[in-house]
Amino acid sequence: MKVQLDPNQINLRMLFSVKDILLSRGFEMISENSNESTLVSGINLDDERYYNLIELQFKIFHSTLLRKELLKFIEHKVQPSSKLVKELINSTYFKSERHLFSNTFEWFIGELMVRKFKAFSYSFGATIDEILRNSDDGNSGDYDTLVVQRNTNLVYFECKTGKFDRRAIIKSIERSISLHTEFLVFFIMDNINESQLSDCLIKADYPNYNTPKLLKLNIKSSDVFIYKWHNCYFVSADDFIEEQLSTVLRINQARKIIKFYDSDIDNDLYSKIGYHVEEI
């Protein structure tokens, strides 16, 4: 049966595309990946099998166990036990290539943000023109996943499906700053090694800011943790992705409004921006 896509969501993706949002801010996207850059490619968009395979791909990447099973097949040809993974790899349109697995994870994060957290749109594997690193003016215009939130601000996701180090983290942060994204989410493929992450950051300078502290955060009613280093959030792709992203979004919102708990607009400013105020 053909999967029916929500036409309203399709219209929103077109209206609030990453490319157009960037243009409205003076940035130009040179290129971006398409579904042809994922593990499923070479199928006509009008073919109902296309939508079924895309949904199958999403389900597999949404499950940590299935995603790892798929990666073991791609990297080591270990035959899967899952019916869903078998169905995908036995498809004529499945391409067993490691770099396509990484691309597909970037695609999955964008899809998840749109489907679960109601973002307007996303782009993955995007290249932006004339983006320079803050530290050495080197070219730095490659972005794994960019997402347009409901407030039309951009969020940048760096998806490390391999190893990471201090240099990779700082480069990602510099890319985020250069594109003026609201914040950065740094995905680490396995469970986060707290000591390793701390060691990566302990001597690192945050571009344009004093070196911040590494914080471990969770919602009080949840045991799912995330890590925050100023405007950069570290999450694990190993499990509980939705819960971690929900925590990131809530923490980021709290950071934006916290100043209104500390102080109010003074009377003079109320007047200047068009309001009459009277103290009682």
Q: Is the model's pLDDT at 135 over the cut of 60?
A: no
Backbone dihedral angles phi then psi of residue 209, each to the nearest 5 degrees: -140, 165
Q: Is 95 a member of any domain?
A: no
**Taking Cα atoms as reference points, which of 103, 105, 69 lies closest to residue 88?**
69
Q: Is 170 a member of any domain?
A: yes
What's the total number of domains in the chain?
Answer: 1
* 3-state SS, one letter per residue, for the chain: CCCCCCHHHHHHHHHCCHHHHHHCCCCCEEECCCHHHCCECCCCCCCHHHHHHHHHHHHHHHCHHHHHHHHHHHHHCCCCCCHHHHHHHCCCCECCCHHHHHHHHHHHHHHHHHHCCCCCEEEEEEEECCCECCCCCCECCEEEEEEECCCCCEEEEEEECCCCCHHHHHHHHHHHHHCCCCEEEEEECCCCCHHHHHHHHCCCCCCCCCCCCEEEECCCCCCCCEEEECCEEEEECCCCHHHHHHHHHHHHHHHHHHHHHHCCCCHHHHHHCCCCCCCC
Q: Is 271 a member of any domain?
A: no
Q: What is the mean pLDDT of residues 205-231?
A: 85
Specify burial of residue 20 (Cβ count, 10 A radius: 0-12, 13-18, 19+).
middle
Q: Is 143 a member of any domain?
A: yes
Query: pLDDT tens, 157-188?
Result: 999 876 778 888 988 998 998 899 999 999 99
Give the range among 32-46, 146-160, 254-268 with minimum mean pLDDT.
254-268
Residues in the chain, total: 280
Cβ(188)–Cβ(160) under 8 Å?
Answer: yes
Query: How far is 221 from 215, CA to CA, in rounded Å?
Result: 18
Domain span including residue 256: 18-33+110-262
Q: Is 52 a member of any domain?
A: no
Query: pLDDT tens, 75-110?
Result: 999 999 999 999 999 999 999 999 999 999 999 999
Q: Is 88 a member of any domain?
A: no
Q: Is the model's pLDDT at 232 over the cut of 80?
A: yes
Cα torsion angle, 208, 211, 214, 220, sign: negative
Is the pTM higher than 0.85? The answer reads yes
Q: Is 272 a member of any domain?
A: no
Which residues, 6+ apart, have CB-to-CB distance to 275 below 8 Å?
Answer: none
Over the chain, what is the mean pLDDT?
A: 87
